[in-house]
A and B are shown apart, each in its own frame.
Chain A
Amino acid sequence: MPLTALRTVSKPQNGVGAFILQCKRLDFHYCDWAGSSRGMNSFLKGTLPAFAKANPQIEITVSPRPTKHPVIRGHYINGREKAICVRKMDPNQILQKAELLRDASGEKLRREVRRPVKSLNESVRGIWSPFHAPIEEKRWKI
């Protein structure tokens, strides 16, 4: 019996089978001195523990960035990162930005109007061929 190579049945895709959140890490940078990170500091004390507990998939780091504006930076499983400056924002607004980074995919923003569906699979029904269609379906005489 000849040895046949194993064929790949399906490509691994996130969400088919297991789902992994696309945001893997969120960095919160703050400054103790600057007034623009006053909201960020209260966010770190008040809101962040609940946010981190609600999203255990995400690694969360907090680090100072002296004399700079506060920044949230998200790292994604596709290798990209996305940073949002949250200067002079309330804790509520900062929470919204953190949720935006959590839900984002890390891809560049694109405007797609025409094609909502993206597929890696080949066409299920195949490509129509005039040579193989039954007689009554033939629209072209060859």
Chain B
Amino acid sequence: MAATAVLSGVQSRHDDVFTSVFPQADYTTPTPESTPNIGVLASPGQPFGGFSLPHNAVEDAVRFNRAWSTATRHLSLPISGDIWQKGPKFRPEVHEAFILLCSPIESRKQLEAWYANEMGVHFRHCVLPELGEWQQPVPLSAALSLFQKTVILLQKSFTQYFSGLTALIISANTTEVRAMLIAFEAQAKQNFHVLVLNSLPQQRLQKTIAYVMLLLMKTSLSHNNNPEICSKQAECRCSVKSDFLPLDQLQAVGLGGNLGERAFALAVHKLLARVVVHRQCFQVRYDTSESVIPKLRRWITERVAPFIEQSLGILTTNLSFKLTDNDRNGFAQTAVSNLGWLRTASLFDYVLHWPETTGAILDIKEYISSNAAEKSRVCSVFMNIMDRRLLHAGPQTTEILSMYTNVIHSFRLLDTKGVMLEKVAGPIRSYLRTRDDTVSIIAASFLADDEKGDVINVDPAKVCPAITVEVSKSSLEDARDHKMLDWSDMHWQPDPIDAGPGYKASKSEDVVAYILGLFDPEEFIKEVTTVLAQHLLQANDPEYVKETRLIELFKSRLDATKLQAAEVMLKDVRDSVSLNKRINPRAKFVTDEPPKPREIQAAIPDEGITTQSLYKMFEHRMQHAQFLATLKLVATRRNDLYFPKRTRLPLEPTQPAEADEARGIDNRVQVLSGFFWPQMRSNDFVLPPHFAEMDSSFGHRFSALGNQRKLHFRRALARVTVELELEDRHVREVDVPAWRASVIDAFATMERPYQDANVEYDPEQGLTAEQLMEALSMEEELVMDALAFWTGKRVLYQKAPATFAVLERLDMDTGMAPQRTTGQREVIFAVMSQDAMLRESAPMFETFIKGMLRDGGPKEVGGFMGVTNMLKMVLPSFTYGEEEVRWLLGEMEGRGEVVRNGEVWAVTR
């Protein structure tokens, strides 16, 4: 059919139209073969023209038809049954047929079209049904097997389709023929590729191939993986090999080319995004605290880029394919970004475990330094996690504070300009301000014991060790100079371009500055003063080194004038030390023994002293001349005053402790300037008689020294070392608050010079808390504390409910007494708590409330115009909340001063 139409152009076009509707079928058996052309008899009317007629159309057509038949028979792919194995033996006319058909371009095209159709028919009938799985989504688990099956099938059909042609090409005898055949084959291959691509869903195919490639790349990586060696050489030597990938097969069966390239690109992208960054070679370096990013970049450009080049070369059949430097950097950058994303996601944990995770922080730093736009993303990711994990009621304030210090450290490492820090620290700061205990924790942390960098013996809920460590490291720099105001600063730099509106450049760079900046300085100083007072009263270091340093630190960081109270406090305790040396009541026991130079030196106050007044202390003990000689040794003279020499004297043997006991009770008094100290506990109670005597004798000596100051003893602040002689044991307790000593003294069975003793301890009866409260005129709180303390120490026991007696022998313990330790009880601090202060000033608050309710009419507790708000407004010293107001109102209601009517309170008429 087709053959008849070839030769005229018009007909050929007509034929195209026809064939487009009725596709050409199998090869055809040309007519002359079935009905052989035996030639025509020369027409009688025509002269015999010989055999070489130049244009014998019929002859041409016959030849063409015959060649077509031969060629198509050679190439035909029978649908049913095995394809005829076209071995090297084939009829020689096949060659001629191909030469005839392929030389004119039209017929070659026709042959190509026919062969494409032939392949299509065969492919649809025999191959495609086996690839039906492609029509459904491919599960990941089946991807590899389906891929392999597909490749094998396609390879098989490829061999089938092209073995005939290949055999032809091999046996071609001239190069022209061969070239012609190769061109034909190339075209046929292209048709085959188109056929394959068109009969499979491309997107799915591409994704599956990409997935399979990724799998194979991973396998290749794991085969060439040796993290131990890599970590030793500080360079990753692992590599991906392209021979693990069936690239050439893909290319051969038509899955290469654009589709293959795209799939490969997808695979490489995923490799960089998911696999590479999780590899062991690029884990966070905890050992050296270095960034792994340079290593990653090097690995990508030196190991991965060649693999990509090679693979792409195979896929595109362009073996000299080269990546440009830009591309290499692009790959490296992708990997770095992915690593950065990965690190950013767990940035919170890295910050939490700073400084062990410095390596990870450096990774992120490297990442954002190459991509500045990521800064804000890192910040926002971090802030999101922080909101979820830190800034809510769950964590303790100390935890938030130590996180805050970690944030400061690590974000300063991330961004030395501090812009990022400013962004992320804002939420923490505003959250910390909402917590009531933040200021007191900071103040307590500043003063917590710190020995050789280790914070010891602290309550984790009240002290943040991180701050303590920071304080010990901080320097006494002057942070008040503001950079922007220093016009002659030659190192001035403009604010970074990404700085927020609140950005301020400042010289102070350490954590302490950030911590101190959390709060209003005045509020902070107030709180610090309270903690410092507590601390100074309990400090054992006569030099007060740490406290001095701390106050100097505050003076340099905060407003020095506001720290006057702290300085006075420090001076008080220092003066007390020398005061105690000078008027130690022990002195009266020392006989005529001449004083040692050390004793004289200790007696000289820092502010200087005249010879006369100094000699007065020693006149009954040594001669004047002798005294003067000793004085010259230990003191320097300026303007008629003697000052202690700073040189240290050789150590003298200390007096044995027994001597002290023989003389009575060692007593040390601290003289404080009441105005500058925070409100102290002022509970009064009866002290054991010795103590009272000592207090009064100290008072006399104090005024004898020419002091104008009036002494007022705060007994609740005193601390006593108690030694108890029990029948079977000896108990010694150091630094017991005086009220506990008083209580245990009441149980003493020894003969006592108690004039006013209105309580007699009878071991048979025991004592009740009420009796003790009455006898010692002590508050219940303190009595209960003392009883609990001594019961916990197994000195007292509960003889009967609420009746206590001395546990003289341990075997007397009936086990009734609960084994309480002092730690379980609320520690009673010397400095008044908020609660105690409220109780103290309750009468004034109550007067205010009364006035308010009488003049302003009935009010509720809460609300804008409620009692609480009004009190806060008119009375700045009222810093309490509604709870306290309700308590006050309850007290007043109990006395019948106010009445409650629903939520509304009113004065009684």
Q: Do A and B come from one complex?
A: no
Please give the residue numbers on chain B whose beta carbons come within 8 Å of chain A beta carbons, in ascending order.
none
